[in-house]
Chain A
């Protein structure tokens, strides 16, 4: 059925005279010349506007910030990869954090615990977008897709030198097309929300209720 359908649809689309389209160049890269400080300012402003928490830290202080956030939120446990550069540092000082959990097996073998027993997850990011206040997250074998989605709190670190002005700029600067897309890539701009009931914003619909961004 599907092969006939395919042939029929493509034949119908090829039949008519199609309009020529003079569109050739894609000149919609960066429209702004924001410097690093302006990018941080815009990013922070946008993130805070959608009720995300933004903390500014240094390479020396970010671990303290994560630890303070965990205490402030009263987290019982934290899901952290022991394989990533940042995750290794947290695991190395495990005593400063709530019980550390690892996503070291396929989802099928611990789905119940992830869905009902994990308070928060910590992940890195592959970049950020200043214009819209957005994190770029590309899940991997070490930091799988559901980490940034299922636990009620998501703590993410963004290195400021990976903060781009626009989405288009990030795509081009990081060569997404050339390197090939990962199975899943995400732009995350705040905690999960909905305005489906009377246009009133409610947070934490299906994804995290809280998003905490640590800028390093």
Chain B
């Protein structure tokens, strides 16, 4: 079988340097997360609590969004709603136009990636500069993030040194991480100084107080949201929590799950633009709330759990598939296990449904998920939605479009045989008898493995022979 996804996977598997970069990084991240949770009981308690906080917020989502909007508005933050990424881009554009702004300095934001905002704005002559060090590096190379919290994880120091030397030939070549970082600091500081508009994502929105929270280590998020005279935040509608007291446990489990840090350097709580008398901070703060398929996910009681995600990336860091194929293989904004459930739901199982099959269902992702998202069950559900016949009974976009006649017929025959004992017994006995004639070439499976062999006798025959004490 050949598809775009399979082709990229094949191409990336053939890049030993990229594979080594991922292996090294993920190994370190898994160890560091483990070190942060020495007490298993505490970890499970915190996971249950965090799941409850997110589930509670989702159970009241429309009401909390209204409270959030009212409190943000009272605080002087302007709230915009977008059903599609195109609407969200138009809203950002209209704010830029109002200020006659020709450039944006960006803090890290996966939702802006989801919007394809850089492409959209650059086509209209607006410069969008990434200021997160990892994002800055991949932007220099014309790439997209390969991980949601460590966007340049696929590159090593030498590759970055070469890239900097190529893009900034006046600066002496160095492979020293500190020097490379200081080069980025100097370049970006001038940009922070001059930029008229800053853009950021949001980690948590607090309905109770009308507060936008940002988690980061570098200070680019603080710079982007403080130095320019306009700050635009873009985020998905699901990121709201009810109370300010919901934030401490979520922050704690987010940073520990993500990078193994007890807390990040900066936790930035923004509750309004510059007030009269204050001497800095943006004059205007805007929040763009993006739906882009989230309300559709919300309508399904099983898939809804996807929206609990706090974007820590732990599922990605622990995924045996991700570590081998790398983030770019997925061909989507969000890679790894979370991407494999989120992207097919947003774009449709007909478009990205194949991602749900790129999993061994080993369960490592759900074992580490701080909000206990049952990722393997959702992967299974999406596989089913892709091929199901009763598409009227699901809201999943593209349902049934991956259904093929041959696969359906195979399973139908199997189901019929398995539910008719005479046929089943005759069939299994026959297969055991003629096992030498079974094909040894089973397509892709047998290119790297031996074909499975049937046993000398069927299970029923063995049980009959050995006898059983009770049924």
Residues of A near any B CB (own CB < 8 A): 1-3, 5-6, 8-10, 12-21, 23, 26, 28, 46, 50, 103-108, 111-112, 115, 131-134, 139-141, 144-146, 149-150, 166-168, 171-172, 176-177, 180-200, 202-208
Contact = CB atoms under 8 A, between A and B. Distances in A.
B263 A20 contact: no
Task: List the 10 closest A-B pairs by CB distance, nearest first.
Answer: A207-B219, A196-B134, A206-B219, A187-B267, A12-B295, A21-B59, A202-B181, A132-B263, A6-B81, A181-B271
Contact of B281 (A132, A144, A167): A144
5 contacts: A9-B81, A50-B265, A171-B245, A181-B75, A193-B218
B384 to A, nearest CB: 20
A50 B133 CA distance: 19
A168 B249 contact: yes
Contacts, number: 257
B91 A149 contact: no
Q: Which interface residue of A28, A140, A183, A186 has the most chain B CB atoms within 10 A?
A: A183
Contact of A149 (B137, B222, B252, B301): B222
Contacts of B82: 2, 5
Given A189-B264, A206-B220, 19 more contacts: A2-B81, A9-B65, A9-B291, A12-B295, A13-B298, A19-B55, A28-B49, A28-B248, A108-B229, A139-B281, A149-B222, A181-B269, A183-B278, A184-B226, A192-B217, A194-B134, A196-B152, A198-B160, A206-B219
A164 B300 CA distance: 42
A106 B279 contact: yes
Contact of B152 (A1, A171, A192, A197): A197
B192 interface: yes
Contacts of A200: 157, 177
Given A5-B83, A205-B219, A23 B52 contact: yes
B244 A171 contact: yes
Q: Which of A28, A166, A190, A198 has the most CB of B within 10 A?
A: A198
A196 B137 contact: yes
B67 interface: no
Interface stretch (B182-190, B321-329, B425-433, B455-463): B182-190
Contacts of A195: 150, 217, 259
Contacts of B90: 1
Chain A interface, >50% SS class:
loop
B263 A189 contact: yes
A9 B295 contact: yes
Interface residues of B, number: 99
Contacts of A166: 248
Contact of A13 (B61, B189, B252): B61
Nearest to A8: B83
B81 A16 contact: no
B193 A141 contact: no
B117 interface: no
A98 B182 CA distance: 26
Given A168-B245, A195-B259, A196-B150, A181 B177 contact: no
Contact of B267 (A16, A104, A186): A186
Contact of B177 (A6, A167, A198): A198
A50 B209 CA distance: 31
A171 B181 CA distance: 35
A59 to B, nearest CB: 29
A205 B245 contact: no
B280 A145 contact: yes
A17 B304 CA distance: 12
Contact of B188 (A16, A20, A206): A206
B244 A177 contact: yes
A181 B206 CA distance: 11
Nearest to A29: B245
Nearest to A152: B185
B246 interface: yes
Nearest to A140: B278
Contact of B266 (A18, A23, A140, A207): A207
A186 B268 contact: yes
Interface string B192-236: 110000000000000011110000011110110011010000000
Given A19-B301, A180-B209, A194 B246 contact: no
A146 B280 contact: yes
A201 to B, nearest CB: 8
